[in-house]
Amino acid sequence: MPVSAHVLRHAADRPHHPAVRGRSGELSYAELAARIAGAARRLPDLLGRAAPPPSGSGAGRGALVAVSLDDPIEMLVAVLAADLAGATPLVCDPSWGPERRAQVTRAVPLDAFVDAPLSAPAAAPPPMSGAGAPDDPAWACFSSGSTGRPRAVVRTRASWTASFPHLDRLTGIGPGDVVLIPGPLVSSLYAFAAVHTLATGATAVLPGRWSPADLAADLAEATVVHLVPHRLPTVLDALSRTASPLRTAVIGGAALPAGARERAAAAGVHVVSYYGATELSFVAMDADGAGLRPFPGVDVEVRVPRGQRLGEVWARSPWLSQGYLAGAAGPLRADDAGWMTVGDLAEPYRPGEVLRLRGRGDGAIQTGGATVVPEDVEEVLRSVPGVGDLVVVGSPHPSLGSVVTAVLETRDTAPPPRASLEAAARSGLDTAQRPRRWYAVHELPRTPTGKPARGLVATRLADGDPGLRRLN
């Protein structure tokens, strides 16, 4: 960001143009700007600071403001209000209960927690102006897989806004578009899509969650949709049953399903896919089906160890994050030359070639648009009495891409009751992290160093190995 400044400009130039539309209604740019400005004036009260003058001196400058609201429009209002005040909004999952929220947020230095809509004061002075500098932290969100070791990724303002013109050019998104964003804003993919849409001056359609039953209605006016790969076939199915002006699908995450790009083209939909990570932002883009090539401004290296077939993808660009808040540990690594990696694997690469990805080196699971780190799930489940060793992997799923699957090593003992395992998962894990499938095996396959061989477990599951017993 600061996207708030863009919204105020659009409110002055096109006050009646629809800005956001959701299940709770619609706001024009003028209405959205007024809501944001009014909410920004509430923040000094929450922060215990003096209110800024109308020009906006940044009463929230340097503050970290957590935002957790069910309604995506209210979420955006609060997030952009923090931005307008010069604070850093930290987007949280509204499904967290009090204990879970405390567990996840206690490790970061919060100045305020917004869990109710911010309404304007009775007498509102003229609109404030954005107070942030390009290098200020402007956005933070938890990477999927936060347990007792929460990982909140933080980004600068410039790392967001400076990439917008490149995305405009590659996707063709402009002020006249209606952009469907059918997922929760706690996901960085959908959050970026929403703020980019507002910065462009287009209309953001925010249902707040994926709903196949409502998809036809959501697509009725949409010209662009942002999706994770495994959702695209469902959208194409809906298009075959309803009239829609949809022309572009922007796809972030893993590889597209086989034949999806060709099927989309037959339906008149241009697919623009990209590869990135919450920590790295955009790394590579495929706008024509010819393969992934570096996003504008990005340098890419694949560092292949001697004797290995695959290497880690490293990126260097203006779009990289500042890392994790409070020094949390995670898959992100950096070197002294400004390169970063999250451990994704690819075939050897030279500049000018296509980047051929081959999965996550850390075994991360892509499920319903979220990235789950297996070790975080395993840490929680190991606390259950009776659990010895275990492995968490992803199993294919027709609508979610993958589901989290836990495989427990029993040796000569009985596994804990499934009810106990699920109770521990509910109390210690986010929804996306909780295993959907549970198995027991006498002995886990292991690497030469004695560690459980995660890849072999996933292969045995895919092959239907009878030695893996389903827990009921």
In order along its 472 residues, the chain shows pLDDT tens digits of 468 889 999 999 999 999 999 998 999 999 999 999 999 988 888 886 544 433 344 456 778 999 999 999 999 999 999 988 888 999 988 888 787 788 777 778 889 999 999 876 544 444 555 555 667 777 888 775 434 456 889 988 888 889 999 999 999 999 999 999 999 898 888 999 999 999 999 999 999 988 888 999 999 999 999 998 878 989 999 999 999 999 999 998 767 777 889 999 999 999 999 999 889 999 999 999 999 999 999 999 999 888 777 788 999 999 999 999 888 878 899 999 999 999 888 889 999 999 998 766 667 787 887 778 787 888 889 889 988 889 999 998 887 888 999 999 998 789 999 999 999 999 999 888 999 999 999 988 875 445 677 878 887 888 888 999 999 8
* CATH code of 347's domain: 2.30.38.10
* Residue reference for tokens 């007024």: 34
Last residue of a domain, one of 360, 393, 408: 360
Look at residue 99 and tell me if it is in a domain: yes
* Residue reference for tokens 């190991």: 382
Pair of tokens at residue 337:
């030359």
Same domain membership, residue 91 and residue 30: yes
Last residue of a domain, one of 123, 140, 162: 162
Q: Please tell me whether residue 204 adopts helix, strand or coil conformation.
A: strand
Same domain membership, residue 153 and residue 6: yes
Which candidate, 463, 441, 316, places its Cα nearest to that of 388?
A: 441
pLDDT of residue 122: 45
Q: Which helix (H) or strand (E) holds 82?
A: helix 72-84
Same domain membership, residue 137 and residue 14: yes
Same domain membership, residue 312 and residue 456: no
**CB-based contacts of 353-356 (< 8 A; 24+ apart in sequence):** 354/290, 354/291, 354/292, 354/293, 355/275, 355/283, 355/284, 355/291, 355/292, 355/293, 355/294, 355/300, 355/302, 355/313, 356/291, 356/292
pLDDT of residue 146: 39
Same domain membership, residue 445 and residue 317: no
Same domain membership, residue 426 and residue 345: no
Distance in angstroms (rounded) separating the CA atoms of residues 212 and 193: 20
Domain count of the fold of the chain: 3
Same domain membership, residue 387 and residue 347: no
All residues at 6 or more sequence positions from 287 whose CB lies less than 8 Å from its CB, including other chains: 170, 171, 272
Last residue of a domain, one of 292, 327, 360: 360
Peptide bond into 109 cis (omega under 30): no
- pTM for the structure as a whole: 0.80
- DSSP class of 452: B
Query: How are beta strands 311-316 and 344-346 bridged, if at all?
Result: antiparallel
Look at residue 213 and tell me if it is in a domain: no
**Domain limits at 158?**
1-162
Same domain membership, residue 148 and residue 81: yes
Q: What is the longest distance spanned by two Cα atoms in the chain?
A: 72
Look at residue 406 and tell me if it is in a domain: yes
